[in-house]
Structure 1
Amino acid sequence: MLKIILALTHKKMKQIVLVCFLAFALSSCKKQGSVQTLYLAHTLPQTHPVHKGILEFKKALNEKSNGKMDVRIFPDGQLGSEREVLELLQIGSVAVTKVSAATLSNFVPEYHVLGVPYLFRDKQHQFEVLEGEVGKSILEKGSKFWLRGLCYYDAGSRSFYTANKAIRTPEDLKGLKIRVMNNQMAINMVNALGGSPTPMAYGELYTAIQQGVVDGAENNPPSFVSSNHHEISKYFTIDEHSSVPDVLLIGTKFWDKLSNQERQWVQEAADESAKAQKIFWQESVEESMEIAKKFGVEIIIPEKSLFQDKSKSVLEDFLKDFPEMTDIVTKINKQ
């Protein structure tokens, strides 16, 4: 136990030292007339398709600015969790980050909408919305919370996977304990479908499935494989109940210091990286599905409308709690 405490303390101290360094660097780089460096922190491993998209952002920004702007990346949660890094953006210690819209909804309420089950008809509809008027409006809403959205990254769609019982219809979820994020909408969705939602830390999930503490979970294919959950799960049901994107953000404390030209370079680089990241994501999905099949996982393609119909109450309850979001949902449905 002492070793664990010391290890956690060491990690936290390392984060504090890094943050102090970044705070100094951000405040001094323009005074020195040096290259304008954006410090970017995120929680994903360097093999992840989102990290590859971020590398494209770095490359594009450097090229557009002719070397006047650069990005220094801190992956793997080096500077803390998504919530912690968002707080660093707000105070100006870090310039850019990538977080899930689900995490961001705790700071900017409008992002809650993007977690509604079956909000989007398909992938094309999702990105038509996100890259159109509605999506851009939500990105801008974060500015009043010092979190300016630059673009959306594809984070896939979440589907159910289980250890011992196949899910082919919502009725198959009855009595099953399904791990979900500690998020009210995710909890409501599993309840609506007849399952028993069980929030728990993601790091505990492998053992929980292995020991039967939970019967399964829900996530996208790359996460299903990268977490090694395909080793202990026999079934993966592609019901795609939610498609919550990732968001690339810049802190307004940094953004406000940039010239109009620098802002243009940053935004154009972000948009180009989003296009490349979609390709990386699709490649990762296809590769992950092939790996899962080799491990004997049965890939099930259910009738999605059955799941969609049973989860309609989640949207109804959401709009009761957030009536101001009705206009956004209406615009999405009309698009």
Structure 2
Amino acid sequence: MKLKALLVGLSLAAGFVSISSAQVTMRNSISIAEDSHQGIGLVTFAREVEKRTNGRYKIQNFYSGSLGGERESIEAVQLGTQELTLTSTGPVPNFVPEAKILDIPFLFRDKAHAHAVLDGPIGQEMLKQFEPKGFKALAWAENGVRHM
């Protein structure tokens, strides 16, 4: 089974363009349920974005693939019909081939090793690989580190 260890966390954001001071609502999707660990993370992310931008930006979350599967959500971000998505690494190499390396089984020894690599220079360099493809990857998130 493919390693589904890491998520491109709230990762594929396109088109953060300069907009007037009016409130901007951004759509964010995930393929799993609102009460999942990632769904709860989206709620927290939305709350923090609204708070830290003094209400200028509001995130509207969509759960359980209601806007489409992971690949469709990435395509929607690429097309500009959706602003954000949280996705597993599974479909990402279709858009950013360099990300395929993250699906190698047992790539990381443990959780601490995964965090050290992805939060360090290697992970930051990998996030930069998204920009030439028209995406802004914000961060890495975890969905378990070692799967069989």
TM-score range (shorter-chain normalised) is 0.7 to 0.9
Task: Measure, in 2, the Cα distance between the counterparts of 1:72 and 1:158.
Answer: 31
Please list every run of at least 4 consecutive aligned residues from structure 1 whose deviation after the TM superposition is greater than 4 angstroms.
none
Higher gyration radius (CA): 1
Deviation track 1:227-274 (CA, whole Å, cap 9, x = no partner) reads xxxxxxxxxxxxxxxxxxxxxxxxxxxxxxxxxxxxxxxxxxxxxxxx
Q: For residues 167-246 of structure 1, what are the structure 2 equivalents within 5 Å?
A: none
Q: Say whether the 8 Å CA contact 1:89–1:146 is kept in structure 2.
A: no
Task: Measure, in 1, the Cα distance between the counterparts of 2:78 and 2:31.
Answer: 17
Q: For residues 18-57 of structure 1, what are the structure 2 equivalents within 5 Å?
A: 30=19, 33-57=21-45
Task: Measure, in 1, the Cα distance between the counterparts of 2:147 and 2:122.
Answer: 25
Given candidates 91, 108, 112, the residue that maps to 2:79 is 91
CA 1:41–1:133 in 2, change beyond 3 Å: closer, same or farther? Answer: same
Given candidates 49, 59, 75, the residue that maps to 1:61 is 49
Task: Measure, in 2, the Cα distance between the counterparts of 1:137 and 1:102.
Answer: 19
In structure 2, the residue matched to 1:135 is 123
Question: Please, what is the CA RMSD of the aligned residues?
Answer: 1.7
CA 1:101–1:68 in 2, change beyond 3 Å: closer, same or farther? Answer: same
Q: Say whether the 8 Å CA contact 1:102–1:111 is kept in structure 2.
A: no
What fraction of aligned residue pairs are identical, expressed as a percent?
A: 29
In structure 2, the residue matched to 1:148 is 136
Q: TM-score, normalised by structure 1?
A: 0.37
Q: How far apart are residue 35 of structure 1 and its match?
A: 0.6
Structure with bigger RCO (C-alpha 8 Å, 6+ apart)? 2
Q: Say whether the 8 Å CA contact 2:108–2:146 is kept in structure 1.
A: no
Task: Measure, in 2, the Cα distance between the counterparts of 1:132 and 1:99.
Answer: 21
Q: Say whether the 8 Å CA contact 2:110–2:145 is kept in structure 1.
A: no
Gaps of 5+ in 1: 1-25, 161-335
Deviation track 1:269-311 (CA, whole Å, cap 9, x = no partner) reads xxxxxxxxxxxxxxxxxxxxxxxxxxxxxxxxxxxxxxxxxxx
Could you say which structure has the higher helix fraction?
1
